[in-house]
Amino acid sequence: MGQPLTVGIVGCGAISAQYLKTIDRLPQVKLVAVADLDTERARAAAAEYEGVEALGVAELIADPRIRVVLNLTIPAAHADVALQAIAAGKDVYCEKPLAATGEDARRVLDAARAAGVRVGCAPDTVLGTGTQTARAAIDDGLIGRPIAATATMMTPGHERWHPNPDFYYVPGGGPLLDMGPYYISSLVTMLGPVRSVIGAASRTRSKRTIGSGPRQGEEIPVTVDTHVTGVLVHESGVLSTLVMSFDAVATRAPNIEVHGERGSLVVPDPNRFDGSVLLTKLGDGEARELPVSAGYTEAGRGVGLIDFLSEPEPRAGGTMAFHVLDVMESLLASAHSGRSVDVESTCERPAPVAFHDPAAQG
Ligand SMILES: NC(=O)c1ccc[n+]([C@@H]2O[C@H](COP(=O)([O-])OP(=O)(O)OC[C@H]3O[C@@H](n4cnc5c(N)ncnc54)[C@H](O)[C@@H]3O)[C@@H](O)[C@H]2O)c1
């Protein structure tokens, strides 16, 4: 193994603990420092890991020891932090969505291209065994020609459990921009890029009530659509039906299904790395579980960083994240205009991930 990838984290909120845990077990990645606008959060995160320093945000971004800035701030800050890191000559790996708007995301990708640095973006969950085993099944022809897919995410909303859920209800959030990246990245990984969309959306409440933590009971404003549904027309002709909602109490619909001429697949939750892939073949009464055949096993958030060491374009990469954001913005534009919208961007399907444990590579 060569030199480990040196990383600095900006944003030490709820999700940072999962990244810290993953990085701690990846020998290829070394965490150098953490930073947050809230210096106490950075200090607390650094205290948990030997050799990790708590720095100011600008100080971390300028630190010559750090090659990749891991941007775990809220969506509204993603572009600003990414642009600062790029200006300092760093690669950036960003939590999803790549930016709060497509326009901001475009600025990030343009700046990175001009600076000759790379952009990665969550979700890397689709590099896990769940989506990758399903993708391998499709590529191996187990369902025949893919025809259609469904993707369903319905919850009552994240304000029930997140102590600072404000960002879920302003531009950059909502069920589509928050959870859509998992589902649409999984669909694009399996079925390729999207050519056009037809959407519809609604907003049921103008306020939400925080359900946990020190701000429990506080009302926060809602300025985004909270139930978004639509059809994605993939370049291949496959039609994916999407429902993303913070307005439903519960659902028993599978997260994702993919239907082909000769078989149907149940694909596990794309917000997780693992899970069972079920195949029902035409003429079979019962679904059978497919053996795990591809993807990072034992993976956690942050595993997408490994590609910075070897792949020319990170698989959880900026180009795909931009396309996914473009699909989501196009869906909302369609919902508001009542017309089908062509998606201007496209991307390659990222290279498949072979079945292995990234931490065991040494
Ligand atoms: N919470 C989850 O379960 C979860 C899961 C997957 C992905 N994510 C994504 O991770 C990102 C962060 O979510 P979170 O839940 O950790 O949010 P959070 O509000 O808990 O944490 C965000 C942190 O970023 C800091 N921050 C904000 N702007 C900053 C800036 N300009 N410079 C430095 N620090 C700044 C805040 O002080 C805060 O500590 C979001 O993009 C979210 O979509 C969250």
pLDDT tens profile 158-205: 999 999 999 999 999 999 999 999 999 999 999 999 999 999 999 999
Report the nearest-CA residue for atom 2 of ligand 1. 15
Q: How far is the CA of 151 from the centre of ligand 1 (A)?
A: 25
322: DSSP letter: H
Q: How far is the CA of 73 from the centre of ligand 1 (A)?
A: 4
**H or E element in which residue 263 lies:** strand 263-267
pTM: 0.97
Confidence of residue 28 (pLDDT cuts 50, 70, 90): very high
Q: What is the pLDDT of residues 63-121, one digit of tens each?
A: 999 999 999 999 999 999 999 999 999 999 999 999 999 999 999 999 999 999 999 99
Q: What's the 3-state SS for 78-120?
A: HHHHHHHHHHCCCEEEECCCCCCCHHHHHHHHHHHHHHCCCEE
Kindly give the number of the ligand 1 atom that is closest to the alpha carbon of 178. 43
Computed from CA positions of residues 334, 337, 338, 341, in that sequence, does the dihedral angle turn out positive or negative? negative
Question: What is the distance between the alpha carbons of residues 177 and 297, in angstroms, rounded to a whole number?
Answer: 27
Kindly give the number of the ligand 1 atom that is closest to the alpha carbon of 97. 41
Check residue 2 and give its pLDDT: 80
Q: Quick check: 362 pLDDT over 50? A: no
Q: Write phi, then psi, for 58 (nearest 5 degrees).
A: -65, -35
Check residue 167 and give its pLDDT: 96
- 150 is written with which tokens? 């469904």
- Name the percent of the chain lying above pLDDT 70: 99
Q: How far is the CA of 183 from the centre of ligand 1 (A)?
A: 20
Q: What is the pLDDT of residues 193-222, one digit of tens each?
A: 999 999 999 999 999 999 999 999 999 999
Check residue 1 and give its pLDDT: 63
Minimal CA–CA distance to 240: which of 294, 316, 180? Answer: 180
Residue type, 193: P
Ligand 1 neighbours by CB, cut-off 6 Å: 10-16, 36-38, 41, 57, 72-75, 77, 80-81, 95-96, 162, 164, 178
**Beta bridge partners of residue 154, listed in sequence order:** 245
324: DSSP letter: H
Question: What is the distance between the alpha carbons of residues 136 and 170, in angstroms, rounded to a whole number?
Answer: 37
Q: Quick check: 330 pLDDT over 90? A: yes
Q: 3-state DSSP call for residue 239?
A: strand
356: DSSP letter: B
